[in-house]
């Protein structure tokens, strides 16, 4: 991964996680230097050191994406490192699985980390991107397109998708492209507790997907890499699903309706 600074820097939130780390890897291979931002300092540092060991250019930044002052400080540090060309809003998590038992504090927690955080990060780089152009990729979810549990998280991701479209229209004249990636089920550490309770959970989930398999973090990273590339220079305001066909339709439902049990 030589020449990491040739294409400028990519600022990736949640870069210490499974999906965020894979995105950092992909963008580094594509020639970007990586500002790996995560609330977990050790995780961010591990990603950065892995990239450096592979010949890339990287720096670890610690921040809470829901803290405006921390986001602004991290953005300034990143801009001190060099020209930030790509912002990936990858940090996020789901708190409440159902509306039953959800309180307002939990609702707010999901909205803050999955929607407000993206605004804070975009706002922090607003002046730089307006002056220089750039690319923003928001990591949404199929939950923002349909009902797959976690209603507060889903509402936030739906908001993020529409925010993406609004930004694409407003930022377009400034040569800023804004897109969203909506993954389906991805094999990450977030599933550990469910796997512990039900070791067959992935086998059960796969049955609902037309491709009959679960995404890996690298699948999501590949789409981000494409959207941040010159090949996507005319793509903005889109939502790219990486979901094995889930949002296209459910095989079991189609088979039931048509009574075609192939």
Residues tagged active-site: 153, 157
Instruction: Please check whether residue 50 is in contact with residue 57, taking contact to mean a CB–CB distance below 8 angstroms.
Output: no
Residues 6+ apart with CB under 8 A from 158: 143, 144, 145
Q: How far apart are CA 68 and CA 49, in angstroms?
A: 27
CA 170: distance to chain centroid?
Answer: 21
**DSSP assignments along 117-133, one per residue:** HHHHHHHHHHHHHHHH-
| Residue 220 region by backbone torsions, left for phi larger than 0, else alpha for psi between -120 and 50, else beta | alpha
Residues 6+ apart with CB under 8 A from 19: 90, 139, 183, 186, 188, 217, 220, 221
DSSP letter (8 states) at residue 115: I
**DSSP assignments along 8-73, one per residue:** -EEEEETTTSHHHHHHHHHHHHTT-EEEEEES-HHHHHHHHHHHHHTT--EEEEE--TT-HHHHHH
Q: How far apart are CA 175 and CA 166, in angstroms?
A: 15
């Amino acid at each position: 991964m030589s020449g990491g600074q040739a294409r400028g820097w990519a600022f990736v939130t949640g870069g210490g996680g499974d999906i965020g780390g894979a995105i950092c890897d992909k963008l580094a291979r594509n020639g970007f230097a990586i500002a790996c931002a995560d609330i977990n300092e050790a995780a961010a540092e591990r990603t950065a050191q892995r990239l450096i060991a592979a010949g890339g250019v990287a720096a670890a930044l610690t921040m809470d994406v829901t803290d405006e002052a921390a986001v602004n400080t991290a953005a300034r540090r990143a801009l001190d490192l060099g020209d930030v060309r790509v912002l990936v809003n990858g940090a996020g998590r789901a708190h409440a699985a159902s509306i039953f038992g959800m309180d307002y504090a939990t609702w707010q927690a999901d909205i803050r980390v999955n929607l407000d955080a993206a605004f804070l990060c975009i706002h922090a780089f607003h002046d730089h991107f307006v002056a220089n152009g750039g690319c923003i990729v928001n990591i949404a979810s199929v939950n923002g397109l349909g009902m797959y549990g976690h209603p507060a998280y889903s509402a936030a991701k739906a908001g993020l998708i529409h925010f993406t479209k609004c930004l694409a229209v407003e930022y377009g004249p400034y040569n800023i492209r804004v897109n969203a990636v909506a993954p389906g089920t991805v094999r990450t550490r977030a599933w550990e507790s469910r796997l512990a309770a039900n070791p067959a959970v992935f086998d059960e989930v796969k049955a609902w997907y037309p491709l009959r398999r679960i995404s890996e973090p690298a699948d999501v990273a590949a789409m981000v890499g494409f959207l941040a590339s010159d090949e996507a220079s005319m793509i903005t305001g889109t939502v790219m699903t990486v979901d094995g066909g889930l949002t296209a339709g459910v095989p079991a439902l189609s088979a039931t309706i048509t009574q075609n049990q192939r």
